[in-house]
Structure 1
Amino acid sequence: MKPRMLLKCITPAVVAISLASAHAAQAAPLNETGLTQASPEDAGVDSRELVRLSQWIREQKLEVYSLLVVKDGKLIFERYGAGVSRDSNFELYSVTKSVTSMVAGILIGQGKIGLDDSVATKLAAWRPDLRADFADKRKVELKHVLSMSSGLHYDFKPKDDPIYYAAPDRLKLAAETNPKAAPGSEFEYTDINPILAAAMLSAAAHEPVEQYAQANLFAPLGMKHAMWTRADRSGLVSAGWGLRLRAVDMAKIGMLVLDHGRWQGRQIVPEPWIAQMTSPGVAPYFGYYWWINNVVQNEPEFDAMGFKGQFITVLPERNTVIVMTSVMSVDGGLRDAKNLQIFRQMVNNYVIPALDNADHARPSKERSAALRRELDISARTRGIPGTQVDPADRPRL
């Protein structure tokens, strides 16, 4: 049987790593991460702007756990706050969705599921006890779930909604939702969709989605300490939250996007899928669980974004990936939360100027020393959380 086509038409922690110490012209591979490390100047980047960014974070007392910049495949800036190290992993919240999209692309490429597959057909067979509840969802397909256009309504509680915390069977809650709009007609960001996605992908893989992801995505990328937590009592994780990754492994997700799904020459995610998931769908700013131009407006740019300030930002024209984990304010709504506003400032006011200042990116002992001092200070500095810190928010080893 031939694999199914993607679409009919493809349109006390370790002190912060001192990048300045890698000032030598040759960049040494980091065996424990699979990344290559270099100084900013060796990649044509002005480290002075990155030092200013780190200082600004401290002056603003922001609770930034990690901030990384990868340029031309090289890790050129790696900043951690107090109590955090390279081996710490972080609750990614909705960045989980973007990683899930890559898992979906792998399964689609293997012919195990298709974008046109019906939620009702797939899940009624997987969970026969919910067949009646899925009967009114025959027109909802995987592509609607991944593009946040399923049209399903769920009455979220203002605090501690059971879908996140106490529900013994999240899929049952999702199955009991009612259609309120035609599938594919409206964009509505709702966490019902990633529950359906986790179930559909698990059914397609014939194993829990987190186990499939470990074997087909995390292990090939050499990820360490990857955990998909917060499963309900039925054993189902959500595709919308609960994934914990190290910042360096988040960077690898961004690098996969940059290199069209390849990692060190090996195709991990099908190349056509990378293009599809980062192309506008029902909403002009959203593809398949990836945001489009939500941080940088005037050039191609893709984002994975999570609650409280978790980000993977990909700048294709600059061959750059930016990663941040943090606990910052959630005030302001989905596409303009305070944490997103702050991250936009970081990227547009500091990182992009550092990338643009190649003519002044001259290696020197003074710049190396300044960067080393600043990273050492940041590794001893705690910020003030901008919102409530839940146990899941704490970095773990």
Structure 2
Amino acid sequence: MKAHHFKTLLANLIPLMLLPVLILGCKSYSENPYNYRIPEQVEDGITVGTLSDAGIDTSLIQEAVTRIRNGAYGAVHSILIYRKGKLVLEEYFPGYTYKWDAPAHQGQWVNFDKDRPHSIMSDTKSITSTCIGIAIEKGFIESVDQSIFDYLPDHQHLKTDGKDKISIEHLLTMTPGLEWYEWNAPYSSNKNPIIGIWFSDKDPVSFILEGELRYEPGTHYSYYGGNQILLGEIIRHATSMAIDEFSQKYLFDPLGIDSADWNVRFPNGVIEAAGGLLLKPRDMLKVGVTFLEDGRWNGQQILTKDWIEKSAMPYPANLSIKVPGEDYGRSGYSYSWWTKTFTEAGKENNIYWAGGWGGQKIIVMPDHEAAVVFTGGNYTSKVRQFGVIEDYILPAFK
């Protein structure tokens, strides 16, 4: 494999890394206390309002943003809070762009803003899952219970040793039973199976499906982005559209998103559908709001309510998963979304989110009619954004 292909992968793909916790060398944030300001109203379909309009304690949020600015929660590039139909907080922070071959992956120091697309890393998996849900609703795919080989015509020879029992749902929930597991090897090593694809002379689908079937499909969780790469190819064969074209037509265009960029492809043209998407933070929020509103965006049904429910609840085999480098403890995993129940003031709060390496998150909080977006640059340090959720955002909700 050519070196520039590998660099392209690492510059855009990697989901969640197992690396030692390091202290990010960064420029000093302003020590001045943050004074709340209403988000800017622009013509993008999002209505803005004030924290008080949404029943949110302004003083707590001001303290949270002050602490973020001062680096207390690591490298946060943006925070957006949407509640009760309005975007009520939108703040951006200076930080380093991502650069694979730089120390701590720190590229150029920039002032992040609403117009700068951000790599959403493994949030991409949740977008790929969303596209599968839309493809089913539109009739391109019959059911999540179908064998994956119904839509992989060029790889029928790999339908052996029980692999024909792997369903679309098993890919969505990372339970196909194959040997692959990303969290046992560093992302700098081709022994990591998501990196190994790029070193192989096999096409990506063959590489993934030639893995040994070690567990009965549906019974064992194993984190591996190859599942979503296969889902992207299933969409291509089912709809005669690659996932970039399909997502633009059926998801991003209805949401008014025109800058989505699937910018990682394998040498044979297969799109890396597990971690290679770039979106602006406001566009990430639109996805979160669509899930919050049971699949609707500004009155248009984008996704079925049933799909939303499947995304919000953990798959039976996917309970108590510990994600390396994150601060939220153990969680569940659903249709490529993370799930967890938090307790605040004696009340349970069911939350689910798309999560990506470095601190990219689309968080849906149905119990509070809220959605929260983070972007960040914690590529070699622990992500502490759920500290903001637990310390400030949940207590601020009235």
Task: Please report the TM-score for the alignment, with normalisation by the length of structure 2.
Answer: 0.76
Q: Which residue pairs with 1:133 in the alignment?
A: 158
SS at match of 2:206: helix
Once the 2 structures are TM-superposed, how far is the Cα of residue 167 of structure 1 from its aligned partner? 5.3
Q: Which residue pairs with 1:14 in the alignment?
A: none
SS at match of 2:81: strand
Separation in 2, partners of 1:274, 1:36: 23
Q: Which residue pairs with 1:150 in the alignment?
A: 176
Query: What whole-Å deviation, never above 9, does each CA across 1:203-240 have from its counterpart, x for those lacking one?
Result: 11111011100010001001132111111112111221
Once the 2 structures are TM-superposed, how far is the Cα of residue 243 of structure 1 from its aligned partner? 0.9
Q: Which residue pairs with 1:283 in the alignment?
A: 318
Determine whether 1:68 maps to 2:80: yes
Once the 2 structures are TM-superposed, how far is the Cα of residue 160 of structure 1 from its aligned partner? 4.3
Q: How is 1:1-397 mapped onto 2 (pairs within 5 angstroms)? A: 20-21=37-38, 30-31=42-43, 33-60=44-71, 62-82=74-94, 83-113=111-141, 114-123=143-152, 125=153, 127=154, 130-136=155-161, 137-154=163-180, 158=186, 159-161=188-190, 162-163=195-196, 165-166=198-199, 169-281=203-315, 282-284=317-319, 285-293=332-340, 298-328=348-378, 338-339=382-383, 342-356=384-398
Once the 2 structures are TM-superposed, how far is the Cα of residue 20 of structure 1 from its aligned partner? 2.5
Q: Cα 1:185–1:289, aligned 2, differ >3 Å: closer, same or farther?
A: same
Q: Cα 1:84–1:165, aligned 2, differ >3 Å: closer, same or farther?
A: farther
Aligned length: 321
Greater length-normalized contact order (CA 8 Å, ≥ 6 residues apart): 1
Query: What whole-Å deviation, never above 9, does each CA across 1:85-106 have from its counterpart, x for those lacking one?
Result: 1111111111111111111111
Once the 2 structures are TM-superposed, how far is the Cα of residue 44 of structure 1 from its aligned partner? 2.0
Once the 2 structures are TM-superposed, how far is the Cα of residue 52 of structure 1 from its aligned partner? 0.8
Whether the 8 Å CA contact 1:98–1:290 is kept in 2: the answer is yes
Once the 2 structures are TM-superposed, how far is the Cα of residue 46 of structure 1 from its aligned partner? 1.8
Query: What whole-Å deviation, never above 9, does each CA across 1:317-351 have from its counterpart, x for those lacking one?
Result: 110101000011556xxxxxx21xx1111001111
Q: Cα 1:44–1:294, aligned 2, differ >3 Å: closer, same or farther?
A: closer
Identity %: 29
Whether the 8 Å CA contact 1:119–1:200 is kept in 2: the answer is yes
Separation in 2, partners of 1:187, 1:289: 12
Amino acid at match of 2:37: A
Separation in 2, partners of 1:349, 1:250: 23
Once the 2 structures are TM-superposed, how far is the Cα of residue 354 of structure 1 from its aligned partner? 1.9
Whether the 8 Å CA contact 1:301–1:313 is kept in 2: the answer is yes
Gaps of at least 5 residues in structure 1 are: 1-17, 23-27, 332-337, 357-397
Query: What whole-Å deviation, never above 9, does each CA across 1:247-296 have from its counterpart, x for those lacking one?
Result: 11111111111111001111011121111222221213111101111766
Once the 2 structures are TM-superposed, how far is the Cα of residue 60 of structure 1 from its aligned partner? 2.6
Whether the 8 Å CA contact 1:19–1:37 is kept in 2: the answer is no
Separation in 1, partners of 2:343, 2:263: 31
Once the 2 structures are TM-superposed, how far is the Cα of residue 134 of structure 1 from its aligned partner? 3.6
Whether the 8 Å CA contact 2:181–2:224 is kept in 1: the answer is no
Query: What whole-Å deviation, never above 9, does each CA across 1:141-181 have from its counterpart, x for those lacking one?
Result: 10101011100113765324334655573222112211110
Whether the 8 Å CA contact 2:341–2:350 is kept in 1: the answer is no
Runs of 4+ off more than 4 Å: 163-168, 294-297
Q: Cα 1:29–1:171, aligned 2, differ >3 Å: closer, same or farther?
A: same
SS at match of 1:302: strand
SS at match of 1:106: helix
Q: Cα 1:68–1:166, aligned 2, differ >3 Å: closer, same or farther?
A: farther
Q: Cα 1:34–1:160, aligned 2, differ >3 Å: closer, same or farther?
A: farther
Separation in 2, partners of 1:155, 1:77: 38
The root-mean-square deviation of aligned C-alpha atoms, in Å, is 2.2
Separation in 2, partners of 1:163, 1:217: 31
Separation in 1, partners of 2:118, 2:38: 26
